[in-house]
Chain A
Amino acid sequence: MLRRTALALAGLPLLLFSGLSGALHAHEHEVRVGDLVITQPWSRATPPGARVGGGYLQVRNTGSAPDRLLSGTMAVAGRVEIHEMRMDGQVMRMRALEQGLVIPPGRTVELRPGGYHVMFMELQRPLVSGETVVGTLVFERAGQVQVQYRVGAAGAGPDGQPHRH
């Protein structure tokens, strides 16, 4: 009896935690195309009126030849580009990767805030925290693949929670 209560008490925070993060994190979204494995595409809520958003994910190349992420589409974006953000001293600079993003064989490339991202342009409506938006990614070798971006809070990290350093 006592043991059961203790177990229940111990389990409670776990349950609460999974309840909190579960909404956004219920199952890790993974898609395969050719030699590539794409994990956990996510995005962030955008303010009303904003016309851009960022898409983030991880791509693992299990093959022996390099591939290249060239472009994509997203249901509520007029246009999609692959961008790189980098800090040049204290200055943030963002550029479209005209030649695409190379995914070397045997490596995982992460698109995340502060680095590479799929840039959603000409958004037709804001992205809302908690929703899922559908898009495609186009790779040079592997071809086209459909992905689902889970939208977290504005400024969120991959788990939908505010990110921490």
Chain B
Amino acid sequence: MMTARLPFPQSRRRRVWLKPLGVTLALSLVTAVAAVWLWLHPPTPLPSDASAAIGGRFNLTDEDGRAFSSDSLAGRPFALYFGFTHCPDVCPTSMSDMARLLEALGPAAAEFRVYFVSVDPERDTPELLRTYTDLFHPRLIGLTGTADEIRHVARLYHAFYAKVPTGAGDYTMDHTATIYLMAPDGRFAGTIAYGESDATALEKLRRLVGRGTGSGGRG
């Protein structure tokens, strides 16, 4: 009502309309960019935030080049870690920790496996993963897959990973360095954080492995 009586010439009034239109377009653009960015870099909540949602079914390729389905893990506890073989520091440290803990668990953990899921499927062939995991312990099993398959597993576990260029066409990976502990029913049972003490980690593993081997127990 007010605008109708404004004494602006026609051209000026048109520009008045153009301004909100421009703002709307700019906001849409920002939203679109944000949407694409979020799609490319999905937010990664910490594992402790939503324990119920961690884990789920996935299909990958094992270190012998065979199809691997998470269904084969049903009824058994297991541990899972995201890493890559070109990782000079945190992965070898964590894997040698796990190897030592597996030894400490003894025969009770004979059927217990730790899965090393590659976040660098481009370079991590099954063969390379087998060589790598066997360097530490025979019960560490490497898994790889297509980029989509890896992305799917990482989402299930709320794990983060990202490629970081290091110059000369080379790259490294940033990634979540947590050991995920999974119960026989496939549910999330806790984590072992990077650098956690042997005593605490061993206690967690004993409890987890006990769930799998205890017969007629606490269900």
Contact surface of A with B, Cβ cutoff 8 Å: 44-45, 47-54, 79, 81, 85, 87, 89-96, 113-114, 117, 119-122, 153-156, 162-165
- The CA of A143 and the CA of B195, in the complex, are separated in Å by 35
Contact surface of B with A, Cβ cutoff 8 Å: 44, 46-47, 85-90, 92-93, 95-97, 99-100, 128, 131-132, 135-136, 160, 164, 166-168, 170, 172, 174-178, 191, 193-198
Measured between beta carbons, the chain A residues less than 8 angstroms from B175 are: 91-92
Measured between beta carbons, the chain B residues less than 8 angstroms from A155 are: 92-93, 95-97, 99, 136
Measured between beta carbons, the chain B residues less than 8 angstroms from A85 are: 89-90
With A49-B85, A114-B89 as given contacts, are A163 and B96 in contact (CB-CB < 8 Å)? yes
Measured between beta carbons, the chain A residues less than 8 angstroms from B197 are: 165
7 CB contacts below 8 A, A to B, read A49-B128, A87-B195, A90-B177, A90-B193, A155-B99, A162-B96, A163-B93
Cβ-Cβ contact count across A and B, 8 Å cutoff: 105
Report the nearest A residue to B174, measured CB to CB.
A93
Measured between beta carbons, the chain A residues less than 8 angstroms from B195 are: 87, 114, 165
Q: Are A54 and B193 in contact (CB under 8 A)?
A: no
Measured between beta carbons, the chain A residues less than 8 angstroms from B177 are: 87, 90-92
Q: Are B193 and A51 in contact (CB under 8 A)?
A: no
A49, A90, A119, A154: most-surrounded residue (chain B CB, <10 A): A90
